[in-house]
Chains A and B, each alone.
Chain A
Amino acid sequence: DSGVTQTPKHLITATGQRVTLRCSPRSGDLSVYWYQQSLDQGLQFLIHYYNGEERAKGNILERFSAQQFPDLHSELNLSSLELGDSALYFCASSVDGGELFFGEGSRLTVL
Protein backbone atom coordinates (compact mmCIF):
# COMPACT_ATOMS: atom_id res chain seq x y z
CA ASP A 1 0.00 0.00 0.00
CA SER A 2 1.58 3.27 -1.19
CA GLY A 3 -0.54 5.45 1.08
CA VAL A 4 -2.02 7.31 -1.91
CA THR A 5 -5.78 6.90 -2.25
CA GLN A 6 -7.70 7.40 -5.47
CA THR A 7 -11.44 7.31 -6.06
CA PRO A 8 -13.35 6.07 -7.91
CA LYS A 9 -11.50 2.93 -9.02
CA HIS A 10 -13.71 2.50 -12.07
CA LEU A 11 -15.89 4.94 -13.96
CA ILE A 12 -18.02 4.43 -17.05
CA THR A 13 -19.58 7.44 -18.71
CA ALA A 14 -20.75 8.75 -22.07
CA THR A 15 -19.13 11.11 -24.54
CA GLY A 16 -19.69 14.75 -23.73
CA GLN A 17 -19.98 14.16 -20.01
CA ARG A 18 -17.85 15.51 -17.16
CA VAL A 19 -16.19 13.50 -14.39
CA THR A 20 -14.09 14.26 -11.32
CA LEU A 21 -11.31 12.04 -10.07
CA ARG A 22 -10.10 12.41 -6.51
CA CYS A 23 -6.72 11.81 -4.90
CA SER A 24 -5.51 11.86 -1.31
CA PRO A 25 -1.71 11.98 -1.10
CA ARG A 26 0.46 10.23 1.47
CA SER A 27 0.52 11.91 4.83
CA GLY A 28 3.06 14.72 4.77
CA ASP A 29 3.53 14.85 0.99
CA LEU A 30 2.92 18.32 -0.41
CA SER A 31 3.28 17.42 -4.09
CA VAL A 32 0.58 15.76 -6.16
CA TYR A 33 1.08 14.65 -9.74
CA TRP A 34 -1.49 13.40 -12.23
CA TYR A 35 -0.56 10.97 -14.99
CA GLN A 36 -2.60 9.38 -17.75
CA GLN A 37 -1.76 5.84 -18.85
CA SER A 38 -2.93 4.38 -22.14
CA LEU A 39 -1.67 1.36 -24.07
CA ASP A 40 -0.26 3.38 -26.96
CA GLN A 41 1.13 6.39 -25.07
CA GLY A 42 2.30 4.90 -21.80
CA LEU A 43 2.40 7.07 -18.67
CA GLN A 44 1.98 10.71 -19.65
CA PHE A 45 2.51 13.54 -17.18
CA LEU A 46 -0.52 15.82 -16.95
CA ILE A 47 -0.02 18.30 -14.12
CA HIS A 48 1.82 18.90 -10.82
CA TYR A 49 0.60 20.75 -7.74
CA TYR A 50 2.68 21.70 -4.75
CA ASN A 51 0.98 22.82 -1.55
CA GLY A 52 -2.04 24.13 -3.39
CA GLU A 53 -0.25 25.83 -6.25
CA GLU A 54 0.14 24.64 -9.81
CA ARG A 55 3.83 23.95 -10.50
CA ALA A 56 3.94 22.48 -13.98
CA LYS A 57 1.76 21.32 -16.81
CA GLY A 58 2.50 18.48 -19.12
CA ASN A 59 0.35 17.05 -21.90
CA ILE A 60 -2.90 18.16 -20.35
CA LEU A 61 -5.80 19.02 -22.63
CA GLU A 62 -7.69 22.29 -22.18
CA ARG A 63 -10.80 20.23 -21.40
CA PHE A 64 -9.01 18.91 -18.31
CA SER A 65 -8.31 20.87 -15.15
CA ALA A 66 -7.10 20.13 -11.66
CA GLN A 67 -6.78 21.70 -8.27
CA GLN A 68 -5.25 20.95 -4.90
CA PHE A 69 -7.18 21.90 -1.81
CA PRO A 70 -5.91 23.21 1.57
CA ASP A 71 -6.07 19.69 3.04
CA LEU A 72 -3.76 18.67 0.13
CA HIS A 73 -6.18 16.35 -1.59
CA SER A 74 -6.46 16.93 -5.32
CA GLU A 75 -9.14 16.59 -7.95
CA LEU A 76 -8.78 16.11 -11.69
CA ASN A 77 -11.76 17.32 -13.70
CA LEU A 78 -12.31 15.93 -17.18
CA SER A 79 -15.01 17.55 -19.30
CA SER A 80 -16.53 17.16 -22.78
CA LEU A 81 -15.27 13.61 -22.68
CA GLU A 82 -14.27 11.84 -25.88
CA LEU A 83 -13.72 8.17 -26.60
CA GLY A 84 -9.97 8.78 -26.67
CA ASP A 85 -10.02 9.93 -23.05
CA SER A 86 -10.58 6.35 -21.93
CA ALA A 87 -7.49 5.49 -19.91
CA LEU A 88 -6.09 4.86 -16.47
CA TYR A 89 -5.55 8.05 -14.52
CA PHE A 90 -2.94 7.88 -11.78
CA CYS A 91 -2.24 10.23 -8.98
CA ALA A 92 1.19 10.22 -7.34
CA SER A 93 2.57 12.10 -4.38
CA SER A 94 6.08 13.02 -3.39
CA VAL A 95 8.03 14.76 -0.67
CA ASP A 96 10.83 16.16 -2.80
CA GLY A 97 9.93 15.55 -6.42
CA GLY A 98 12.21 12.52 -6.79
CA GLU A 99 10.53 9.27 -5.87
CA LEU A 100 6.84 9.21 -6.71
CA PHE A 101 4.33 7.09 -4.81
CA PHE A 102 1.41 6.09 -7.01
CA GLY A 103 -2.17 5.31 -6.16
CA GLU A 104 -3.95 2.38 -7.76
CA GLY A 105 -5.51 4.52 -10.43
CA SER A 106 -8.96 5.39 -11.70
CA ARG A 107 -9.99 3.50 -14.82
CA LEU A 108 -12.16 5.71 -17.02
CA THR A 109 -14.21 4.24 -19.83
CA VAL A 110 -15.98 6.63 -22.18
CA LEU A 111 -18.70 5.04 -24.31
Chain B
Amino acid sequence: QKEVEQDPGPLSVPEGAIVSLNCTYSNSAFQYFMWYRQYSRKGPELLMYTYSSGNKEDGRFTAQVDKSSKYISLFIRDSQPSDSATYLCAMGPNQAGTALIFGKGTTLSVSS
Protein backbone atom coordinates (compact mmCIF):
# COMPACT_ATOMS: atom_id res chain seq x y z
CA GLN B 1 0.00 0.00 0.00
CA LYS B 2 1.38 3.38 -0.98
CA GLU B 3 1.80 5.93 1.80
CA VAL B 4 -0.36 8.49 -0.01
CA GLU B 5 -3.09 7.67 -2.54
CA GLN B 6 -4.68 10.25 -4.81
CA ASP B 7 -7.02 9.68 -7.73
CA PRO B 8 -5.27 11.15 -10.79
CA GLY B 9 -8.52 12.02 -12.57
CA PRO B 10 -8.80 13.85 -14.89
CA LEU B 11 -11.70 15.75 -13.42
CA SER B 12 -13.72 18.04 -15.68
CA VAL B 13 -16.32 20.44 -14.30
CA PRO B 14 -18.23 23.50 -15.55
CA GLU B 15 -17.44 26.95 -14.24
CA GLY B 16 -19.15 27.62 -10.93
CA ALA B 17 -19.18 23.98 -9.80
CA ILE B 18 -18.01 22.79 -6.40
CA VAL B 19 -14.97 20.57 -6.71
CA SER B 20 -13.92 17.92 -4.21
CA LEU B 21 -10.39 16.51 -4.27
CA ASN B 22 -9.28 13.77 -1.90
CA CYS B 23 -6.31 11.82 -0.63
CA THR B 24 -5.96 8.89 1.71
CA TYR B 25 -2.84 7.95 3.61
CA SER B 26 -1.57 5.05 5.65
CA ASN B 27 1.03 6.58 7.96
CA SER B 28 -0.57 7.71 11.22
CA ALA B 29 2.64 9.61 12.07
CA PHE B 30 1.89 12.34 9.53
CA GLN B 31 1.39 15.61 11.36
CA TYR B 32 0.90 18.26 8.73
CA PHE B 33 -1.07 18.26 5.55
CA MET B 34 -0.87 20.49 2.53
CA TRP B 35 -2.38 21.04 -0.87
CA TYR B 36 -0.22 22.27 -3.70
CA ARG B 37 -1.38 23.54 -7.09
CA GLN B 38 0.73 22.98 -10.17
CA TYR B 39 0.08 24.72 -13.45
CA SER B 40 1.43 23.19 -16.64
CA ARG B 41 5.19 23.66 -17.00
CA LYS B 42 5.45 25.28 -13.55
CA GLY B 43 6.59 24.23 -10.10
CA PRO B 44 4.06 23.33 -7.40
CA GLU B 45 2.86 26.22 -5.24
CA LEU B 46 1.35 25.95 -1.76
CA LEU B 47 -2.39 26.43 -1.60
CA MET B 48 -3.40 25.27 1.88
CA TYR B 49 -1.54 24.10 5.01
CA THR B 50 -3.18 22.42 7.98
CA TYR B 51 -1.52 21.00 11.06
CA SER B 52 -4.33 19.02 12.67
CA SER B 53 -7.72 17.50 12.12
CA GLY B 54 -10.52 19.86 11.19
CA ASN B 55 -11.31 22.45 8.57
CA LYS B 56 -9.41 25.44 7.27
CA GLU B 57 -10.93 27.96 4.91
CA ASP B 58 -9.22 30.47 2.63
CA GLY B 59 -11.49 32.27 0.20
CA ARG B 60 -13.01 29.74 -2.16
CA PHE B 61 -10.84 26.93 -0.82
CA THR B 62 -11.53 24.69 2.18
CA ALA B 63 -9.16 21.99 3.41
CA GLN B 64 -10.40 19.19 5.64
CA VAL B 65 -8.33 16.69 7.57
CA ASP B 66 -9.78 13.60 9.25
CA LYS B 67 -6.90 11.88 11.01
CA SER B 68 -9.11 9.11 12.37
CA SER B 69 -9.98 8.04 8.83
CA LYS B 70 -6.59 9.06 7.37
CA TYR B 71 -8.41 11.13 4.77
CA ILE B 72 -7.90 14.69 3.58
CA SER B 73 -9.97 16.78 1.20
CA LEU B 74 -9.80 20.05 -0.67
CA PHE B 75 -13.02 21.77 -1.71
CA ILE B 76 -13.11 24.51 -4.30
CA ARG B 77 -16.27 26.61 -4.43
CA ASP B 78 -17.40 28.58 -7.46
CA SER B 79 -14.67 27.02 -9.57
CA GLN B 80 -13.09 29.20 -12.26
CA PRO B 81 -11.23 28.33 -15.48
CA SER B 82 -8.12 29.70 -13.78
CA ASP B 83 -8.42 26.82 -11.27
CA SER B 84 -7.55 24.37 -14.07
CA ALA B 85 -4.34 22.75 -12.84
CA THR B 86 -3.01 19.66 -11.15
CA TYR B 87 -3.65 19.52 -7.40
CA LEU B 88 -1.18 17.59 -5.25
CA CYS B 89 -1.79 16.59 -1.69
CA ALA B 90 1.29 16.46 0.51
CA MET B 91 1.91 15.37 4.04
CA GLY B 92 4.77 14.94 6.43
CA PRO B 93 7.11 14.49 7.88
CA ASN B 94 8.50 11.40 6.17
CA GLN B 95 10.32 8.67 8.09
CA ALA B 96 13.51 10.69 8.21
CA GLY B 97 11.49 13.55 9.64
CA THR B 98 12.57 15.94 6.96
CA ALA B 99 10.52 15.85 3.79
CA LEU B 100 7.00 15.88 2.40
CA ILE B 101 5.37 12.88 0.74
CA PHE B 102 3.24 13.81 -2.24
CA GLY B 103 0.25 12.22 -3.89
CA LYS B 104 0.46 11.76 -7.65
CA GLY B 105 -1.88 14.69 -8.22
CA THR B 106 -5.39 15.16 -9.63
CA THR B 107 -5.73 17.05 -12.90
CA LEU B 108 -8.69 19.44 -12.86
CA SER B 109 -10.20 21.18 -15.87
CA VAL B 110 -12.83 23.90 -15.39
CA SER B 111 -14.68 24.87 -18.55
CA SER B 112 -16.31 28.26 -19.09
Contacts and interface: CB of A to CB of B under 8 A. Distances in A.
Given A98-B32, A99-B49, A56 B102 contact: no
Given A56-B94, A97-B93, A98-B49, A43 B102 contact: yes
Contacts of B100: 45, 100
Interface in B96-110: 96-105
B96 A55 contact: yes
Given A43-B88, A48-B98, A56-B98, A104 B93 contact: no
Contacts of A48: 96, 98-99
Contacts of B98: 31, 48, 50, 55-56, 97
A32 B49 CA distance: 20
Contacts of A99: 34, 46, 49
A42 B46 contact: no
Interface in A43-69: 43, 45, 48, 50, 55-58
A43 B44 contact: yes
A105 interface: yes
Nearest to B44: A102
A48 B90 CA distance: 16
Contacts of B44: 43, 90, 102
A4 interface: yes
B96 to A, nearest CB: 4
Contacts of B102: 35, 42-43
Given A43-B104, A90-B43, 6 more contacts: A48-B96, A55-B98, A92-B43, A99-B46, A104-B42, A104-B43
9 contacts: A31-B98, A41-B104, A42-B102, A42-B104, A48-B98, A55-B96, A55-B98, A56-B99, A100-B90
